Amino acid sequence: MHSDLFDLTAEAEMGHIQLSRVADLIVVAPATADLMAKMAQGRADDLASTLLLATDTRVLVAPAMNVRMWDHPATQRNLAQLRADGVLVVGPNEGEMACGEYGPGRMAEPLEIVAAVQAALAEGPLAGRHVLVTSGPTHEPIDPVRYIANRSSGAQGTALAAALRDLGAKVTFVTGPASVPPPDGVTVVKVETARQMLAAVEAALPADAAVFAAAVADWRVANAAGQKMKKDGSGQAPALQFAENPDILATVSKRAEGPPQLVVGFAAETETVQAHATAKRLRKGCDWIVANDVSPETGIMGGAENAVTLITATGAEDWPRMGKDAVARRLAERIAAALG
C-alpha cells in the first residue's frame, strides 16, 4: 500500500478498528493467495484483512504467487468473486518467480500498477459509469486440437476498452483469444466460444452501455469430436454438422430486464457495407452499429487502421481511415456524450 496514493491508518482499541481515509483507492501489492482468499470470503482475522473488510473504498489488487497457487481452482474462484465484488485486478504476469519456477503468477511491473492506479483514479465524463466491451474472435472446437475461428486480432475492441477507461468508465472487458493483450485497469474476462462469451456478458450486466466489438462465430460444430480426429486413408473428410450460435447482440438489445442505456454493435462486411449494417441494426434492435469493410484488400481485419461508418437511428456517418486507437477515442467520446 503506497502512501502517495492514499493515507489509511488503523488504531486498535478494545477490539475496534478506527479507519481514516484520504483517497479513493486502496492498492494491495503484492496480493497473496491467502489474502485474496480472505477478501473473497469476507474474513477479518488480521489487520490487513480487517481494514479491507471495513472500508468502502475501491480496492486494486496486484496478485503475486507461485504458478500452481495461481492456477489452483480455489484461487481462480476467489479471483472471480473479487471481480464480481468490484475489486480491480492488475496482472499477474508470466515470468520467473522467487521460488525459481516460471509461469503466470509474477506480480505486475511497477509501471503497470501505476497505470492501473491512474486509470482507476481517472476523472472523466464516464466516471461512475459501467461499460461492457466484447472483443476478439471466438474459437469453436472441431476436436480437442482444432477449431473454427476468424482473422480478428481484437485490436479495435482492446483500444476501445482502453479509451473508455481513460474517460473514467469502469470497464468489463470480455475477450476471446485475441492476438493483442488486454488493457490494464479494466476487468478482464477471457472466453473461447460464443456460448462462453454470452454467459460472461450476462454475468457482467447490468451496464450503462455495452459495445459488442467481438467477431463472434455465427456457427459452431454440433458434432465436435471428443478425441483428435484421425485420417483413415479413405480420402474422405469427416462430415461436420453445424448449429447456430446464440446472437449475443440481439439477446442483450432485447433482454426482458431491459437493455443497457446504449447498445452498440459492430458489423464487419465485405460488400454493400452500409446497407447490410443498417439492416443489421434494425434486426438486432441495437442503438448504433459501427460498420467497416473487411475485404482482404483493405487490410483492416488484423491491421492497425480502420475505416468505419457509424450508423444510428438518424442516419449514417462515414469516418475517415485512421488508426484503431483514434477510432476508439472518437467512439468513446461519442458514447460519453450519448450517456450524458
* Residues with a known catalytic role: 99
DSSP, res 297: G
Q: Which residue has the cell 518467480?
A: 97
In 13-127, which ranges are continuous DSSP H helix? 33-41, 47-54, 67-71, 73-84, 110-121
Q: Grid coordinates standing for 157?
A: 475492441
Q: If 0-12 CB within 10 Å is exposed, 13-18 middle and 19+ buried, where does residue 254 land?
A: middle
CA distance 149 to 137: 7
Q: Which 3 state secondary structure label does DSSP give 248? A: helix
41, 230, 249, 272: which is closest to 146 by C-alpha? 230
- Percent helix / strand / coil, the chain, rounded to 5: 30, 30, 40
State the pairing for strand pair 209-212/130-135. Answer: parallel
Q: Grid coordinates standing for 243?
A: 448449429
Q: What does residue 47 show for φ and ψ, rounded to 5 degrees?
A: -65, -45
CA distance 56 to 87: 11
